[in-house]
């Protein structure tokens, strides 16, 4: 058959361009892997941010627990007079435990602790009216030694406990002068009339 040429018909299958197809599949795989890595990175960042937020919130919740009226607290303290002389301290001993607002402490001390957080350290100056009150000269009394006190060898500075015979209430008095026939005692509280300074270390809070 002159002029006729047979032609081969090729069917398009996956084997037509094998190298091209393989390359395309590799690129798809790389893209999928890259996308997966990006997602993992984003998830990781989200987890880290969430953990940081939780830690911050927890820290703020703990550090913002402050002492308030009605709470029972434990403190270390050192008390000094205006001239710097230490009159009392419980540092290196057992913490002083008391309930704020209960009247156990002088008003100025209570007010100083309110608002503090555990671990806070504060130095506070407390005036007479927020401490033990003014000094009352009328509470100084001179009495007959033999009639009023059966004290052997009394000395200036000695603290005596005196009982009121009518009420049975007891009061501590300080001997401020001694003669052969009399004793002069001061019934003012030992720290009356003094401005006080306290260094306070709040170590515990037990909320009411």
Q: Is the pLDDT of residue 124 over 80?
A: yes
84: its two tokens: 């710097």
Longest dimension (CA), the chain: 165
pLDDT digits (tens, 9 = 90+) for 127-180: 999 999 999 999 999 988 776 666 778 899 999 888 777 888 888 899 999 998
CB 202 within 8 A of CB 113: yes
- Provide the pLDDT confidence category of residue 2 given band limits of 50, 70 and 90: very low
193-200 mean pLDDT: 97
> CA 194, 74, 203: angle at the middle one, nearest 5?
110
What does pTM read for this prediction? 0.63
- Residues contacting residue 186 through CB under 8 Å, at least 6 positions apart: 139, 140, 173, 174, 176
> Higher-confidence residue: 160 or 199?
199
Q: Using alpha carbons only, how large is the chain's radius of gyration in Å?
A: 42
- Which two tokens mark 27? 């690129």
Tell me what pLDDT residue 64 has: 63
Residue predicted with more confidence, 188 or 21: 188
pLDDT tens digits, residue range 14-63?
454 455 555 566 676 667 777 777 777 887 788 888 887 886 666 655 55
Long-range pairs of 81-84 with CB within 8 A, sequence gap ≥ 24:
81/194, 81/195, 81/196, 81/197, 82/194, 82/195, 82/197
Q: How confident is the model at residue 1 (pLDDT cuts 50, 70, 90)?
A: very low
C-alpha distances out from residue 186 to 35, 54, 86, 153, 192, Å:
88, 60, 22, 18, 11
Residue pair 43/168 in contact (Cβ under 8 Å)? The answer is no
Q: What is the pLDDT of residues 64-119, one digit of tens each?
A: 689 999 999 999 999 999 999 999 999 999 999 999 999 999 999 999 999 999 99
Taken in order 48, 49, 52, 57, is the CA torsion positive or negative? negative
Count of CB atoms within 10 A of residue 198's CB?
22
């Amino acid at each position: 058959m002159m002029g006729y040429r047979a032609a081969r018909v090729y069917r398009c299958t996956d084997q037509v361009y094998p190298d091209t197809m393989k390359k395309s599949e590799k690129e798809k795989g790389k893209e999928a892997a890259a996308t997966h890595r990006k997602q993992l990175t984003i998830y990781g960042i989200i987890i880290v941010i969430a953990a940081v937020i939780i830690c911050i919130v927890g820290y703020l919740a703990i550090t913002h627990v402050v002492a308030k009226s009605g709470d029972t607290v434990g403190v270390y303290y050192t008390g000094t007079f205006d001239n710097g002389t230490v009159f009392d301290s419980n540092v290196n001993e057992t913490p002083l435990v008391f309930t704020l607002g209960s009247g156990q402490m002088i008003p100025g001390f209570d007010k100083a602790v309110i608002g503090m957080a555990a671990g806070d350290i504060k130095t506070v100056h407390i005036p007479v009216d927020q401490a033990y009150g003014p000094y009352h000269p009328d509470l100084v009394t001179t009495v007959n030694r033999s009639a009023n006190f059966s004290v052997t060898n009394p000395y200036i500075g000695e603290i005596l406990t005196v009982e009121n015979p009518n009420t049975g209430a007891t009061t501590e008095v300080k001997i401020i002068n001694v003669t052969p026939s009399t004793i002069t005692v001061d019934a003012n509280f030992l720290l009356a009339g003094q401005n006080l300074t306290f260094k306070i270390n709040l170590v515990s809070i037990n909320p009411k």
